[in-house]
Amino acid sequence: MLNVHHSLLLSLTLFLLVSAQEEHQQDTPIARFQRYLRINTAHPNPDYPSAISFLKFQAQSIDLQARTLEFTPGKPVLLLTWPGTNPSLPSILLNSHLDSVPAEPSKWVHPPFSAVRSPDGKIFARGAQDDKCIAVQYLEAIRNLKAKNFAPIRTVHLSFVPDEEIGGLDGAAKFFPSKVFEELRVGFALDEGQASPGDEFRVFYADRSPWNLVIKAEGTPGHGSRMYDNTAMENLMKSVEVISRFRESQFDVVKAGDAANSEVISINPVYVKAGIPSPNGFVMNVQPSEAEAGFDVRLTPTADPDLLRRRIAEEWAPAWRNMTYKITEKGPLRDYMGRPLMTPTNDSNPWWSVFKQAITAVGGKLAKPEILVSTTDARYIRQLGIPALGFSPMTNTPILLHDHNEFLKDTVYLKGVEVYESIISSLSSFEEASH
């Protein structure tokens, strides 16, 4: 019996040792990235508690200070801090968002929250590019810098905010103007960017601002065979035609190579709603009394919002055609001094020089700075007059944010960690700029 007991005890000990070894082997930068990706933070029900718990655990493992804030119930903001040796200097902020857009599992080669790594190193997951990658890369870079006994001069803050994918109104829009944020004394910030299909890193100095435009038309209902003036559908179709011509005029500039997509006002129809439903679809012999269409509008930082409002009121949805409209502005267009929300990328901005040098130090190349075609939470930072750049260190990578089969290669991810090591150490060691 003693020999059997000894044998079982030995087997159990060996099992525990092997299990501990396997667990240790799995605690790698890639494994940690995969664990974060497996947390389903997609709308409409993002699992914020699990995401916060994961990030706080990682922060604690590298001795970062952590605070969880709530400006809206159920919408947490996680704030991590790495104190600098000279806290009187303005701090550095590294921002990312917790949430993701939904995914259609049937359209993916792997389940969108499985974080499967293929034999060629592609890690498939919703959020792999947008933007869970930078959240963990920030932490991994700090982990590596701490292991090298690096001590920042400036304090470094990391913020993880909710609801970016739905406008940030209960996240960044409340956090950045808050007293808590003001007390951080941020001098410069980084937020998300986009992948680069080429070998140059892309960097963004401004975003376009989103408007949601809903146009409604009313008119005389009647038999499908009758010809009426100013029916709801007729009026809506006239508006769609006028809007389409404006869209084409903007797009022609892009096609001619005179501007990038992000440098013009874009407007795209996203839905049309009209007609009387029936068991087989819609009643075909009745003209509806109401019709509605929705449009996604993106304004450049230099666009004149008043001019666009007049165009909508006078040309796109004129009241004399029995039309009404609603504009939902999702974020600011100007900073606190009335200036366009753009961060200088020249010698007038000392942070820009430090950022460029940090990229060069790790063998990277920067593409020409761009206006982001879409929108990020960086606009709420720029609104305060704080310089902010959008940057995600992904080269030779297809742009797959919000797309099916979003992925990031392991080698690209790890290179990004190295890039952030250089950026964080350079920015936090810079003593000349003041805010």
**Does the annotation mark 164 as catalytic?**
yes
- Short-list 406, 423, 403, CA closest to 359: 423
Backbone φ/ψ region at 373: left (φ over 0), alpha (ψ -120 to 50), beta:
alpha
Contacts (Cβ under 8 Å, ≥6 apart) of 183:
none
227 Cβ partners below 8 Å, 6+ apart? none
Catalytic position from the list 140, 164, 191, 218: 164
Q: Which of 144, 147, 163, 363 is nearest to 136 (CA)?
A: 144
Q: Which of 169, 176, 43, 177 lies closest to 98, judged by CA?
A: 43
Check: CB of residue 398 under 8 Å from CB of residue 195.
Answer: yes
% helix, strand, coil for the chain, step of 5: 35, 25, 40
Q: Which two tokens stand for residue 206?
A: 């401004």
φ, ψ of residue 218 in degrees (nearest 5): -125, 155
Question: Could you tell me where the DSSP H helices lie in 27-153?
Answer: 29-37, 48-61, 132-147
Encoded tokens for 358: 């940090």
Cis peptide bond N-terminal to 306, omega within 30: no
Q: Max alpha carbon distance in the chain (Å)?
A: 99
Backbone phi, then psi, for 360, in 5-degree steps? -60, -35
Active-site positions? Answer: 99, 164
